[in-house]
Amino acid sequence: MNERAIARGLLAAAAALSLVGGTGCGGFFYALDASSAATKLETAKKMGAEQLAPYEYHYANEHLTKAMEEAAAADYGDAIDLANLADKYADKAIQLSKSAHEGAGR
């Protein structure tokens, strides 16, 4: 594939995504964000973040729970915001847990 074909493909994909986003498919975007946050929370838990980064872990967990409640009420805008915040704090919990493990010589 040449660069022009790749650029056309990317442009078509971006147009399709903006079209889908404009038709009110908030549930789709919420599902992507919540799935990412849930996966990261599971990783954080496996790394011991409940003990090594308790604030970040529980903050992420509670925001993901609230995101699920908002999505159940079809309030996808708030659900997406909460899921994104959960994702951000799950990342922090993972990083803090990694640092703690490295500091312990593991």
40-77 confidence digits (pLDDT tens):
999 999 999 999 999 999 999 999 999 999 999 999 99
pTM: 0.74
Nearest 5°: the CA angle 58, 61, 66 is 125
* pLDDT tens-digit readout, 29-46: 999 999 999 999 999 999
Q: Give the DSSP per-residue string, 59-98.
A: HHHHHHHHHHHHHHTT-HHHHHHHHHHHHHHHHHHHHHHH
Task: Look at residue 24 in the predicted model and tell me its pLDDT.
Answer: 65
Residue carrying structure tokens 């660069």: 3
